[in-house]
Structure 1
Amino acid sequence: MASSSGLASEELQCSICLEVFTDPVTIPCGHNFCRTCLSECWTNTQTSFCPLCKEKFSRRPDPKINTSLREVVQHFKEKLNLGESKVFCDVCGERKQKAVKTCLTCPSSYCDSHLEPHLSVTCLKKHTLINAVENLEDYICQKHKKLLELFCRDDQTCVCVSCTEGEHRTHNTVPIEEESREKKAGVANKKL
């Protein structure tokens, strides 16, 4: 969930690999995919169809490079690379170092040297570390001020443990990691 695609809007993500488009192509139904993802999807199949809407094509279409989308993706990737250096260690003094991890339990961001206790001290090893992020509030439940650890399948949203004791009590909730694995596996099965 914390991959670069997690930061992109769905319009910039290939629905096959769930990553930001690489060499985006368009097929006749209007949907876009990474060129290699679509090629792999159509390899070893008799019929050609859209992996997203399932529209079948009588002949295998020749995917056209979507130059506009390619430019938008390139612009997004450049912005993303520029944005990576904006997260700094919360512990560093005057000369702040670039943060490498954010602790969702503390909640703070740490450079390599200040992260060391989280890697060696027993009680800190239990904390949840993610790649450094600026928008830490996106990972915290705004109602209960707790870590968003679960995914509510009924409402298609992330929730904290306290949410499952209230309005999401009867809902189907699973750990975020499990939902992510299942979505990726579903996409892989669509390729077949």
Structure 2
Amino acid sequence: MRIVVLVSGSGSNLQAVIDAVAEGSLEGVEIAAVGADKHGTYGVERAAAAGYETFVVNFKDYAVRDEWNHALTAKCLSYAPDYVVSSGFMRIVGEEFVNAFDGTYLNTHPALLPSFPGAHGVRDALAYGVKVTGCTVHIADAGVDTGPILAQAAVEVLPGDTAESLHERIKVQERALLIRVLGQLAAGRDPRDG
């Protein structure tokens, strides 16, 4: 199963996937390429250091969002992936991208969707006062953190948690969940079946 991974930041989820592929615990998954929406992301540096092909489709290089979206779609399609994985990719993709990867564009989110969508899921959950939050892997569609949920993992909110401390615990679960889902998909199983 070929995947293209998209990142905007440090790529800690990506690193977990790279490590799982390298150690053989994520069988049947091939990382075709890792891409970013801006130059200088540590996620791209991690991928390059591991020997993977990388690319940048810099959002700021395009005057119109649709042109960037078209370029990103074409670049991802050039790798013929079975799945595209949004791993901390902080750009909303357009209709052309969603249609090109309909049902095969995976996203990770640090909250139990449909609760707390958007860029501040951890902060919003903490501010709301929930006692349990977590993470979600879902098939992304044209909405913001919407689309069919494949798997979730719960994380307890502890007294005295900050957004940072809570997010660190969520990331641990998010990495494990993403690897589990990718492994199930590579084995031809539907993650929703458990």
Shorter-chain TM band: under 0.3
TM-score normalised by structure 1 residue count: 0.25
Higher relative contact order (CA 8 A, sep 6+): 2
TM-score normalised by structure 2 residue count: 0.25
Considering fraction of residues, name the structure with more strand: 2
Q: Report which of the two structures shows the higher radius of gyration computed on alpha carbons.
A: 1
